[in-house]
Structures are given as C-alpha cells and as structure tokens.
Amino acid sequence: MSSHYEAPIRKPLVLGDKSYHDITEDIARPIETPPNKDWWIAFGISMAAFMWGVGCIIYTIGTGIGTWGLNKTVGWAWDITNFVWWVGIGHAGTLISAVLLLFRQKWRMGINRSAEAMTIFSVIQAGLFPVIHMGRPWLIYWFFPIPNQFGSLWVNFNSPLLWDVFAISTYLTVSLVFWWTGLLPDFAMIRDRAVKPFQKKIYSLISFGWSGRAKDWQRFEEVSLVLAGLATPLVLSVHTIVSFDFATSVIPGWHTTIFPPYFVAGAIFSGFAMVQTLLIIMRKVSRLESYITVQHIEMMNIVIMITGSIVGCAYITELFIAWYSGVEYEQYAFLNRATGPYWWAYFLMMSCNVVSPQVMWFKKIRTSIIWSFVISIVVNVGMWFERFVIIVTSLHRDYLPSSWTMFSPTFIDIGIFIGTIGFFFVLFLLYARSFPVVAQSEVKTILKSSGENYKKLRDK
Amino acid sequence: MSSKSLHVLFDDDDILLDAVKQIVKSKIHINEIYTPFPVHGLDKAMKLKPTNMSIATFIYGCIGFTVAIMMMNYIMIVDWPQNIGGKPSFTLIENIPSFVPIIFEMTVFFAAHLMVITFYLKSKLWPFKKAENPHPSTTDDKFLIDMETGTNVSKTKTMLKKLGAISIDVINNDEDEK
C-alpha cells in the first residue's frame, strides 16, 4: 500500500467504494444496456440537423458558393468562422490527454477519453469547411504535393493556407492514433466480457487482439508518454498556424503578432468549455459521477477562467497596440470593431469571453454544476463571436469607403453551420453508446492512490 | 523445456508484484504476465529489458525532418522557383523561414505514426488478430502469470498459494500443440 501513497490533502478522484471490477462494470454499462428514450430523442434531433446540413452542402456544391451571403467586400465569413471555431474546440482533447499527462495530473484520467473523442469529432467538422468552400471539392487532391499532369505545377509552401492543410491533417491523424491506442485495452475489456456473438466479433476486430502482456504494457506506457511529448507542441502549433492564416496577411485587424498565443489560449478556452458542456450531461446520463466528479468540473473551470483571462488580456493588448502603432488604418479597424455597426458582436464577445468566466473566482460557482454548464455554453457562444468579429469586422470596411458593406448570412450559411453541430452530436452520441467513455485501464492504476475508499483506509 | 506450465491467477496488483519478485528469486522462469492495466514496477521485477521505442521515435522524427526539407527544396527551389509575394526563392536558406511550419508538422507526423506502427507490429496488434490472453478476466480485474512448473510442481504450488494466488491451473502444452 505504501507505494500508492498520495497526500491526504488531495481529494479523491474516484468516489465511492470501488473495486477494479466495479470500474469495469460501470464503464461497460452504457455499452451493454440499450439506449433510453432521451438518447433517441437527442439522436433524432442531431440527425435531423445533420441532414439539413447535408442538404445545404449538396446545394452549395451543386450551385456554387454564391449561395452563401458573401459579397465583394466580405469574402470570408461564416465558413472560416466555423472552421476556426471547430478547430479551437478540438484543442482541449489533446491538451487534456497530452499536456496534463506530461504534468502528471491524475484528474485527466476521468475525462481524457471523451475529450479526445470530442477533439476528433470537432476537427472533422472543421475540416469540412475548407473542403466545401473550395467550390470544387473533387479537386481536393490539388492540396497535396503530388506530381501531376499540369507540368511542374506544385503547391505553394510559402502559403499559410497550405501550412493549415499539413497542420490540420497531422493533428487529426495523430490525435486519432493516440486515442485509438489508448482505447485498445478498454476495447479488449469489453470484448472479453461480451456475451452477444456480434458484439464480441466487433470488439475483437477493433481491439486489435490486445492481450495485456507485461511487455505490451511497457511499450504502451512509453508510446503514450512519447506521443504526449509530440502532441504537446503539435497542439500549440495547430492553432498557431491557423492564426497565421490571418496574421501573415496585410489586413488591418488581422496583421498582428499577438495572434498565435492569443489563438492558442482561445482554443484551449473554448475546447474546455465544450468538454464541460458534454461531460456535465454525460456523467449524469451514463451514471459516471464517481469518475467525473465535481472536482474534475472545478479543475476544468479553473482552466476556463485562466485561459479566459489570457484571452481578455489579448483583446486589450490588441486595442492598445492599435493605438500605440500610430497607424490610422489599424486604429480605425479596432475602433470600428468596438463601436461600429458590429458593436453588438464585439460586446457579446467581450462579455461572454472576458467577463463571464471571472465569476469562477468564487468557489461556490465553480463547484456548482448548473453554473458550470451555463457558463460553458456562454463561452462557446462568445468564442464563435470572437472569430466572427475578427473576420467580418476587419473586412466589411476596407480601404475603399464606397465598397463598405455588411454581411448577412443566407439560410445556406446557417444550415451548414447547424448541420456540423448536428453531425458532431451524432458522432458523440454514437460514441457514448459504443465506446468505453472513461479510460478504465488508466483509472484502475490510480484507484489505490486516489480512490475514496483506499484514501479512507490509509487515514485510519 | 518442460511440457507443462502453470497459469496462476491473482486478484491484486500488489500481491502480484510481491509474488513475481519471489518467483524470480526462486529461479522459476516466467513466460508471460497478463494484466488489466499497467502495473508499475512489474517490468523491473520480471527483469524485462527497457523498451527502445523512444530512440526509434527520435530516428523517425529525424527522417520526417529530412524528408520535409528535401521535398520543399526540390519543389520550391530546384524544380520550379516562383516569385510569391517577393519571398526569396533562389536558395533554400533564404526561403526556409516559411518552410518551418511544415518541417515541424512533418517531423511530428513521421515520428508519431511510425512509432505507433512499430508498436503495433512489435506487440502484434492489428485488426483480425486473435487475442492471446488465456483468461478473459485478465482484461477486467485479474492478473495471470504464465510460468514454468519448476522442479517440483507441488512445492511450487504451495509456494504460490502462500504468495496469495487465487487459483493455479496446470497446463499441458503438448496437448495444445496437437
């Protein structure tokens, strides 16, 4: 027992009187029981939203991106806003599983699996937008540096848009293998207790024949650690490169050097908010309150509060630097952002992202489930508006006042966005019924050090 | 090699770890141990060699780094230099700042994927591979040692019972092979 010592001041991460077998039972339960009515209702709504999105995407591809609300001045609007929003949300998963692994934070184990799932599902949504907005998505292979029939027509490696292609595809695939490798022992657990032959077959297939040999575990742990070491700079690089899409341009309001750190902080901020939204519901529905405890929620709230404050600092720095630069175009871009016709979007961004997370300074609020849920939604809305503000307000009043205009989305713009939200929830709901949603093999390793019953036993 | 082996089941990781240390001390060969989660210190107790996975990964990363530089040098400098936004395109060294992001991404891409592929191949993990854990509960809450019987089977059995084994099965390997 002495090797499992943990300071008594640390609160237990696994509540209740749990044994190893109880953990197995609790994690396998949602997979082995049929879904209830609420799940079907949620799935039905998500599916309907997804189908609407599919319809709008088909219409866009069939007719052209003229179906969107874009105009001569505002040539980039909801598509890139949604893209950046979804990529940002996709940042929490790898942060939780990789960065917190390097920092040896045990509380990541209750939530890492779902956060990684959310990462992969949201990066899929993000990836849709650049593909759709090409107008001719069947020419997507033009993105890749492959020898071609057009003479020496190569892709342009000086372009931040191409950097994006490499960053997003590396991020998606590396996150996917990281997630899947961690899933193997948990799939094997379900395989070995499955009674239905079909279920057994499926889980045998996807568990890749995991047997849990001592050597496998030794390699598994090393691979997890090295992957975490690789994924940590990767996750920081992805949103850095997304911010380069703007920062390397010459548009006032985009051309700022603060963009990379500011985008990364914002991405972690919105990602954690989305994890919070999803897990608060899931812990209740799948009865996982013993593994995703109020302490987990509190920890995530602290991360939300800190990254929210970093984002707030960045907003204010931007305003200061615009004034300090002495460049009148830069000054006007920011004045227009805050007080121009899009003041309401700026106001929403400021109040949702900077003001709302500050209530987390109060312990009562950051340990309240209702408050955490409400604020996580508010933050997600705020972060969408942040991207909208950056993109649209910097474009809609350009150097030529005669071309100043406003942007209004068409129902196609809205439909595609709603569709990606639907697609995301379809994937997440399917995941919640068929995947082990808590990394049970990892939780078992901390049971003796951080389990409530073991902690009590030690205190005696 | 003796044709018989023992499958010894434990229900606690600490008891297992102590037992493994004793078995190693009494010089009985352990063929394999199956556990539901990584038991820290087990690899040292059964004297497994440390894995070289991280060294391999470093080499894979170097490959990715080199491939990225060579690819972009060929495409942007050698094969068809173009003037894009005035960025210097005549030598690699001048143009390299705008290649840094992709050099980094490809380094990570190669290192991560080749490492995972190596892990899957070395640990024999792939779709349609049949699982080899002898007892299904070793992915749940039990720990299984697959070991030689030693010179005296009943003596080994008593020792294992004392060490806290919950069940001991004698496995006849000759029959398995038929």
Nearest-CA distance B107 → chain A (Å) = 9
Q: Say whether pLDDT at A89 is over 50.
A: yes
Q: From CA B18, how far away is CA B165, in angstroms rounded?
A: 11
Among the ranges given (A149-153, A206-210, B143-147), the one the predictor scored with the smallest mean pLDDT: A149-153
Closest in B36, B119, B137 to A219, CB measured: B119
Please indicate if any CB of chain A lies within 8 Å of the CB of B73: no
The CATH number given to B4-49+131-177 is: 3.30.70
Q: Say whether pLDDT at A34 is over 80.
A: yes
Q: Say whether pLDDT at A67 is over 80.
A: yes
pLDDT for the residue A2: 53
Tokens of B149: 């019987």
Q: Give the 3-state secondary structure of residue B167.
A: strand
Which chain A residues touch B46 with a CB distance below 8 Å?
214
User: pLDDT tens across A21-30, in order?
Assistant: 999 988 988 8
Report how many Cβ contacts below 8 Å link chain A to chain B. Answer: 204
Q: What is the mean pLDDT of residues A366-386?
A: 93
Tokens of A365: 């609020």
Give the confidence band of B89 by pLDDT, cuts at 50, 70, 90.
confident
Among the ranges given (A110-119, B87-96, B104-113), the one the predictor scored with the smallest mean pLDDT: B87-96
Q: Say whether pLDDT at A261 is over 60.
A: yes
Q: Are A87 and A113 in contact (CB under 8 A)?
A: no
Which chain B residues touch A446 with a CB distance below 8 Å?
none
Neighbours of B49 (CB within 10 A): 8
Q: From CA B117, how far away is CA B53, in angstroms rounded?
A: 11
pLDDT for the residue B2: 52
Closest in B54, B82, B109 to A226, CB measured: B54
Give the confidence band of B60 by pLDDT, cuts at 50, 70, 90.
very high
- Identify the closest residue of chain A to B37 by CA–CA distance: A441
Q: From CA B170, how far away is CA B131, in angstroms rounded?
A: 21
Nearest Cα neighbor of B28 from B138, B157, B165 is B157
Give the confidence band of B177 by pLDDT, cuts at 50, 70, 90.
very low
Phi, psi of B46 (to 5 degrees): -95, 10
User: pLDDT tens across B1-18, in order?
Assistant: 457 888 888 888 888 888
Nearest Cα neighbor of A181 from A124, A220, A230, A212 is A220
Domains of chain A, CATH where assigned: 12-459 (1.20.1630.10)
User: pLDDT tens across B10-58, in order?
Assistant: 888 888 888 888 888 888 888 889 999 998 888 888 888 888 888 999 9
pLDDT for the residue B91: 87
Q: Are A172 and A123 in contact (CB under 8 A)?
A: yes
Determine the Cα angle at B148 with ends B51 and B178, to 5°. Answer: 100
pLDDT for the residue B101: 94
**B139/A212 Cβ within 8 A:** yes
Q: What is the mean pLDDT of residues A357-376?
A: 92
The set of residues, in sequence order, having a beta carbon less than 8 Å from that of B51 and lying 6+ positions away, is: A215, A218, A219, A222
Which chain A residues touch B75 with a CB distance below 8 Å?
145, 154-155, 157
Q: From CA B70, how far away is CA A321, in angstroms rounded?
A: 39
User: pLDDT tens across A105-115, in order?
Assistant: 888 888 889 99
- Identify the closest residue of chain B to A21 by CA–CA distance: B141
**With pLDDT > 70 as the criterion, what percentage of chain B qualifies?**
96
Binding-face residues of A in 203-242 toward B, CB within 8 A? 204-223, 225-227, 230-231, 233-234, 237, 241
Alpha-carbon distances, residue A17 vs A14, A28, A109, A446, A453 (angstroms): 9, 18, 18, 14, 5
pLDDT for the residue B178: 40
Nearest-CA distance A230 → chain B (Å) = 6
The partner residues of B33 in beta bridges, in order of sequence, read: B145
Nearest Cα neighbor of B84 from B70, B99, B69 is B99
Give the confidence band of A1 by pLDDT, cuts at 50, 70, 90.
very low
Closest in A159, A177, A205 to B113, CB measured: A177
User: pLDDT tens across B108-121, in order?
Assistant: 999 999 999 999 99
Nearest-CA distance B76 → chain A (Å) = 7
The set of residues, in sequence order, having a beta carbon less than 8 Å from that of A270 and lying 6+ positions away, is: A85, A88, A89, A91, A92, A379, A380, A383
Alpha-carbon distances, residue A431 vs A43, A117, A129 (angstroms): 12, 8, 23
SS3 letters across chain A: CHHHCCCCCCCCCECCCCCHHHHHHHHHHHHHCCCCHHHHHHHHHHHHHHHHHHHHHHHHHHHCHHHCCCCCCCCCCHHHHHHHHHHHHCHHHHHHHHHHHHCCCCCHHHHHHHHHHHHHHHHHHHHHHHHHHCCCHHHHHHHCCCCCCCCCCCCCCCCHHHHHHHHHHHHHHHHHHHHHHHHHHHHHHHHHHCCCHHHHHHHHHHCCCCCCEHHHHHHHHHHHHHHHHHHHHHHHHHHHHHHHHHHCCCCCCCCCCCHHHHHHHHHHHHHHHHHHHHHHHHHHHCCCCCCCCHHHHHHHHHHHHHHHHHHHHHHHHHHHHHHHHCCHHHHHHHHHHHHCCCHHHHHHHHHHHHHHHHHHHCHHHHCCHHHHHHHHHHHHHHHHHHHHHHHHHHHCCCCCHHHCCCCCCCHHHHHHHHHHHHHHHHHHHHHHHHCCCCCHHHHHHHHHHHEHHHHHHHHC
Closest in A154, A167, A185 to B75, CB measured: A154
pLDDT for the residue B174: 64
Domain boundaries of chain B, sorted by first residue: 4-49+131-177, 53-122
Q: Are B142 and B15 in contact (CB under 8 A)?
A: no
Mean pLDDT of chain A, nearest integer? 90
Nearest-CA distance A388 → chain B (Å) = 26
Q: Say whether pLDDT at B134 is over 90.
A: no
In the DSSP assignment, the letter for residue B77 is I
